[in-house]
């Protein structure tokens, strides 16, 4: 089906894109891979007279090393580009693997990380692991630049802290501490994940620290901080089972809803299973 | 309802199945409609219209895209390959031949998209293992469920030398 008519603008600079947005206001939206936007426009759920294509702004699709082991991912990088990027594969293999498992090959080739985060469809993968990795969103508008944590960026279903005139330019992954492992596991019967769990294990002098986030089960990714507390000081030989049990206990307290992907009980169960599997991968 | 178009038209030029071509489009036009209606290339099939089924797959710069959800404006200055461009001088492409030899089609509706996805996979990785093949084709659905023959055909191609 054809979307309603619009004009397509293709600025080559960030300033150009911001000025177009300031000029057209509510009649305009940014356009990246279009994998969410065009479907919503075809279905007449969204309607804009002006699409501002960000893909001609080359710098927004670059992936750079940032300090020792950190990386800066341009928001226009596609899931496919991220999954093949040598820096991501070397420093965040768990995130490269996640990107390789988003959707299908065509959506990975067109869809961008920035579009995924800005659309904030809860049944998504990247935000969950990005929260666990303390990733940060870099935003720019005519008023200036700001940086916020991804955990503060995603506010809820289709809702983010991004203001209308702001462009998400980069996602910054701070370096993982030496010896730390980050793993993401997801499960779904439909196109998008029913549940996804990110686990980060960081060695410390006092014993390893485990951080666990669950996503797709609620309107935004949630941290299972009680699990972190409960498994403090537990030896690796016993920790896996503890993580499974404690994830189940914490998941009971979370606001999780029934939806087309499954009942809340089922999703709580998935969280504990996926947490166990991801924790096992961290130790393997 | 007014059907008048107050938005500017766009000129695009691209390479289609090896030949330079151009056309004038509305910004909202989708690649699938330009291929099927302007160029009469009806091998590209519309089905789910939401990037799930893979029937409308074409290759842009060698990579698979869903032509049902890609603006035609996106292919300006790029290389597009549809199923019609695969055979050379009346000879089927080796992928097409393998599909025929293995009976890897039933109704045939998913076949153009399936063959083009395999074309892209084998260009990147000429000898994929079965896990890689299954992963790559996850988004190409065969509602006749003829997957076994399809995987057999690709395994055959992947095990060939050269
Ligand atoms: C069939 C299908 C299956 C999918 N499966 C999965 C899955 O398994 N896991 C998963 O995580 N996701 C999944 N997705 C979602 C997919 O990852 C997103 O559709 C894609 O990443 C969105 O990026 P885009 O570039 O296409 O965004 P667009 O559609 O171009 O844009 C989406 C929204 O974000 C805004 N926007 C985009 N970029 C910016 C920017 N840089 N700054 C400000 N605003 C911006 C746009 O204005 C628009 O409102 C699936 C999607 C489809 C269609």
User: Which CATH number characterizes residue B35's domain?
Assistant: 3.10.20.30
Q: Kindly provide the ipTM of the predicted complex, given to two decimals.
A: 0.96
Give the separation between CA A159 and CA A268, rounded to whole angstroms.
Answer: 23
Kindly state whether residue B139 falls inside one of the protein's structural domains: yes
Strands B57-60, B19-25: parallel, antiparallel or unpaired by DSSP? unpaired
d(CA A118, CA B122): 34
Q: Whose alpha carbon is nearest atom 3 of ligand 1?
A: A103
Residue A121, chain B, CB below 8 Å: the answer is no
Give every strand in the sheet of A209-215, ordered side by side.
Answer: A181-187, A195-202, A209-215, A222-223
Residues B43 and B77 reside in one and the same domain: yes
Q: Are residues B78 and B121 in the same domain?
A: no
- The structure tokens listed for B2 are 């007014």
Mutate to test the interface with B, among A3, A29, A80, A105 (most CBs of B within 10 A): A105
Question: Does B76 map to a domain?
Answer: yes
Decide if B1 is inside a domain.
no
Task: Please give the pLDDT value at position B6.
Answer: 84
Domain count, chain B: 2
Report pLDDT for B2: 47
For residue B112, tell me if it sits in a domain: yes
Nearest CA in chain B to A80: B63
Q: Looking at the structure, do residues B64 and B112 belong to the same domain, yes or no? A: no
In sequence order, the β-bridge partners of residue A210 are A201
**B19 and B61 inside one domain:** yes
Is residue B69 located within the same domain as residue B120? Answer: no
pLDDT at B162: 66
pLDDT of A69 strictly over 90? no
State the smallest CA–CA distance between residue B97 and chain A in angstroms.
Answer: 24
Question: Do residues B155 and B110 share a domain?
Answer: yes
CB contact under 8 A, B71 and A8: yes
The pLDDT value recorded for residue A163 is 97
Q: Is residue B5 part of a domain?
A: no
Quote the domain boundaries for residue B80: 10-84
Last residue within a domain, chosen from B84, B116, B139: B84
Minimal-distance CA residue to ligand 1 atom 38: A115
Chain B CB within 8 Å of residue A42 CB: yes
Question: How confident is residue A275, by pLDDT bands cut at 50, 70 and 90?
Answer: very high
User: CATH fold of A181-283, please?
Assistant: Enolase-like; domain 1 (3.30.390)
Check: CB of residue A47 under 8 Å from CB of residue A4: yes
Domain at A7-53, CATH class: alpha beta
Verdict on whether the full-model pTM lies above 0.90 = yes
What span, in angstroms and rounded, lies between the C-alpha atoms of A78 and A109? 6
pLDDT exceeds cutoff 60 at B28: yes
Q: Looking at the predicted structure, is the pLDDT value of residue A156 above 50? A: yes
Q: Report the alpha-carbon distance of residue A196 to residue A119 in Å, rounded.
A: 18
Query: Is residue B47 in a domain?
Result: yes
Those residues whose C-beta lies under 8 Å from the C-beta of residue B46, and which sit 6 or more positions away, are: B32, B36, B55, B56, B68
Q: Is residue A67 predicted with pLDDT exceeding 90?
A: no
Question: Using the beta-carbon criterion (under 8 Å), do B65 and A2 form an inter-chain contact?
Answer: no
Q: Which of B29, B63, B84 is the last residue of a domain?
A: B84
For residue A216, what are its two tokens? 């797709």
CATH code where residue B124 lies: 1.10.150.120
DSSP for residue B93: P
Instruction: Kindly state whether residues B67 and B34 are assigned to the same domain.
Output: yes
| H runs (alpha helix) in B28-161 | 31-33, 94-101, 111-124, 130-136, 147-158
The answer to whether A154 touches A117, Cβ cutoff 8 Å, is yes
Which B residues in the span 100-129 are in contact with A, Cβ-Cβ below 8 Å?
Answer: 117, 120
Q: Does B28 touch chain A (CB under 8 A)?
A: yes
| Mean pLDDT (whole number) for A113-141 | 98
A99 against B5, higher pLDDT = A99
Which residue out of B51, B61, B138 would a mutagenesis test of the A interface target, given it has the greatest number of A Cβ atoms within 10 Å? B51
Cα–Cα distance measured from residue A142 to residue A198, given in angstroms and rounded to the nearest whole number: 35
Q: CATH 3.30.465.10 residue ranges in chain A? A: 58-173
Q: Where, residue-wise, is CATH 3.30.390.50 in chain A?
A: 181-283
| Cβ <8 Å between A6 and B28 | yes
List, as one string, the DSSP characters of A53-90.
E-TT-GGGG-EEEETTTEEEEETT-BHHHHHH-HHHHH
CATH code 3.30.43.10 region(s) in chain A: 7-53
Q: Are residues B109 and B153 in the same domain?
A: yes
Chain A residues in contact with B51 (beta carbon < 8 A): 35, 39, 103-104, 106-107
Report the mean per-residue pLDDT for chain B.
Answer: 96
Cβ–Cβ under 8 Å, residues B116 and B61: no
Residue with tokens 């090393």: A65
* Fold of the A58-173 domain: 3.30.465
Interface with chain B: mutation pick from A27, A34, A51, A106, highest number of B CBs within 10 Å: A106
A182 pairs with which residues across the strands?
Answer: A200
Is the minimum CB–CB distance between B7 and chain A shorter than 8 Å? yes
Q: What is the pLDDT of residue A128?
A: 98
Nearest to B115 by CA among B85, B76, B143, B159: B85
Q: Are residues B22 and B53 in the same domain?
A: yes
Determine the average pLDDT of the residues in B36-57: 98
Looking at the fold, whether B66 and B106 belong to one and the same domain comes out as no
For A84, the closest chain B residue by CA position comes to B124
* B2 in a structural domain: no
**Is pLDDT at B3 greater than 70 in this prediction?**
no
Q: State which of B25, B52, B84 marks the end of a domain.
A: B84
């Amino acid at each position: 089906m054809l979307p309603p008519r619009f004009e397509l603008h293709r600025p080559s600079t960030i300033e150009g894109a911001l000025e177009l947005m300031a000029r057209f206001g509510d009649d305009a939206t940014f356009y990246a891979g279009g994998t969410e936007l065009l479907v919503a426009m075809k279905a007449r759920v969204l309607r804009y007279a002006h699409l501002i294509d960000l893909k001609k702004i080359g710098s927004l699709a670059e992936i750079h090393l940032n300090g020792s082991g950190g990386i800066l991912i341009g928001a226009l990088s596609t899931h496919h580009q991220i999954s093949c990027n040598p820096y991501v594969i070397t420093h965040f293999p768990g995130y490269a693997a996640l990107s390789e498992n988003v959707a299908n090959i065509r959506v990975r080739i067109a869809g961008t990380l920035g579009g995924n985060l800005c659309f904030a469809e809860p049944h998504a993968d990247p935000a969950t692991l990005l929260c666990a990795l303390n990733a940060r969103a870099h935003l720019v508008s005519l008023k200036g630049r700001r940086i916020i944590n991804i955990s503060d960026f995603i506010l809820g279903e289709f809702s983010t802290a991004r203001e209308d005139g702001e462009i998400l330019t980069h996602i910054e992954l701070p370096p993982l501490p030496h010896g730390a492992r980050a793993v993401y596991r997801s499960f779904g019967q439909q196109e998008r994940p029913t549940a996804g769990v990110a686990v980060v294990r960081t060695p410390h002098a006092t014993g390893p620290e485990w951080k666990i986030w669950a996503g797709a089960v609620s309107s935004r990714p949630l941290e299972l901080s009680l699990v972190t507390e409960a498994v403090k000081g537990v030896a690796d030989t016993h920790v896996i089972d503890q993580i499974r049990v404690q994830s189940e206990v914490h998941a009971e307290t979370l606001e999780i809803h029934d939806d087309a992907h499954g009942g809340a009980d089922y999703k709580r169960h998935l969280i504990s299973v996926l947490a166990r599997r991801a924790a096992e991968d961290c130790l393997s | 309802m007014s059907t008048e178009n107050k938005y500017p038209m766009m000129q695009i030029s691209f390479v289609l199945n090896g030949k330079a071509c151009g056309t004038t489009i509305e910004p909202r036009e989708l690649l699938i409609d330009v291929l099927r209606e302007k160029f009469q290339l009806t091998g590209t099939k519309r089905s789910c219209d939401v990037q799930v089924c893979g029937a409308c797959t074409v290759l842009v710069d060698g990579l698979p895209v869903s032509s049902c959800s890609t603006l035609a404006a996106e292919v300006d200055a790029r290389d597009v390959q549809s199923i019609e461009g695969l055979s050379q001088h009346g000879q089927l492409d080796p992928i097409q031949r393998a599909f025929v030899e293995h009976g890897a089609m039933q109704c045939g509706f998913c076949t153009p998209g399936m063959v083009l996805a395999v074309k892209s996979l084998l260009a990147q990785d000429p000898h994929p293992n079965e896990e890689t093949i299954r992963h790559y084709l996850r988004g190409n659905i065969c509602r006749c469920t003829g997957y076994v023959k399809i995987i057999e055909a690709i395994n055959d191609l992947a095990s060939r030398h050269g």
